Amino acid sequence: MSDKARIELRPTPHIHAPQDVVTIMRNVVLACLPLAGWAVWQYGLSALLLGITVVASCLLTERLFGRAETLRDGSAVITGLLLFLTLPPGFPLWMGAVAGITAIGLGKMLFGGLGMNVFNPALVGRAFVQAAFPVAITTWTPAFFEGRFTSFIPSTLALPFTIPPETAQWAGSVAVDAFTGATPLALAKFEQSLAPARDLFLGTTAGSAGESSALLVLACGLYLAVRKMLDWRIPVSVLAGAAVTATLFHLLDPARHPDAGFMLFSGGLMLGAWFMATDMVGSPVTPKGVVIYGLLIGAVTVVIRLFGGLTEGVMYAILLGNAATPLIDQFTQPRVFGERRS
């Protein structure tokens, strides 16, 4: 060998696990795509355009705030996709863009970018538009309406800063059955009528773009869990927390409060548990903390759903969980090997 060998001093360890941030992000994007695809299949062109708008606005905001290289980590794409999945399919595109800009700008970049955000950016965006456009965010449209691949939901193309047109009449005209425009959760809350578990599971009920098929969410979430891209203890404890709380109230007053099965599979709980609560940045790192965080989110979701003014509580429950994370981490520091229990 030559004496002029290039020698570099490297710190230990000299080897490294193959997975890095980009691999993880790429896999999460991959796992979100079937959900987005299902939404497009359900709601057609409007959903497709909304998805593209939201993701593009997220990427553009990241580009404007950050440097070009932070785009490559893929986290902005995830935020965009997840945000899209939480919006009603007929959400006006300009409002979708506002949500995307808020999600990345307010939820992520203001805190310092990747890894610094306190809250899940997608949910920050969603919370912002929930407050800003309370009507549009709760205007649901029927799935599988005729002509969904040739025409738009009327509200989709509303001009910026205008009030989107009323869709109730349109919805009545395209729906196969009588469409009430209410989600299963709203029906349960205000009319005490429960959607059949099968419909909830397969995702043929009304709701946000990505929250309707529990089965699909479960499958995609499991893929990530198996590939170790998400901490399975989080969704499991979120769902456990929700199930236990729901059962408790159901036993107290079965007539008023739906059972655990309905709670688990309706609304955005599945999506939230597998894809939102598991956001690594906003969740605790300690083994005990992760479980406490999950249980907290599950329980708060059910409490908001049953007693709050809103029909859905997952978003605020997760944001609350995010806020509690530093505290939870603080109090659940693991016992160090060899430390005496005191």
Q: List interacting residues with another protein (CB under 8 A).
A: 1, 3, 5-17, 19-21, 23-24, 69, 73, 113-116, 231, 280-287, 290, 329, 333-340
**Nearest CB to another protein, comparing residues 62 and 73:** 73
Q: 13 or 309: whose CB is closer to another protein?
A: 13
The least CB distance from residue 75 to another protein, in Å, is 8
3-state secondary structure 288-307: HHHHHHHHHHHHHHHHHHHH
Residues composing the chain? 342
| Cα atoms in the Cβ-side hemisphere of radius 13 Å centred on 240 | 12
CB of 112 to another protein, least distance (A): 8
In the complex, least distance from residue 325 CB atom to another protein, rounded to whole angstroms:
8
Largest CA distance in the chain: 84
In terms of Cβ atoms closer than 10 Å to its own Cβ (0-12, 13-18, 19+), residue 118 is: middle
Q: Which is nearer to another protein, 215 or 280 (CB)?
A: 280
Q: Which is nearer to another protein, 231 or 312 (CB)?
A: 231
Cβ proximity to another protein, 16 vs 198, nearer residue: 16
State how far the alpha carbon of 160 is from the alpha carbons of 61, 137, 166, 339, in Å. 18, 15, 16, 61
305 HSE (CA, 13 A, CB side): 36
Distance in Å, CB of 339 to another protein, minimum: 5
Cβ closest to another protein, residue 56 vs residue 285: 285
| Minimal distance, residue 337 CB to another protein, in Å | 4
Cβ neighbours for 128, distance < 8 A, ≥ 6 positions apart: 98, 99, 102, 103, 106
- For residue 273, give both structure tokens: 């548990």
Least separation in angstroms between CB 263 and another protein: 28
Residue 256 neighbours by CB under 8 Å, 6+ apart: 192
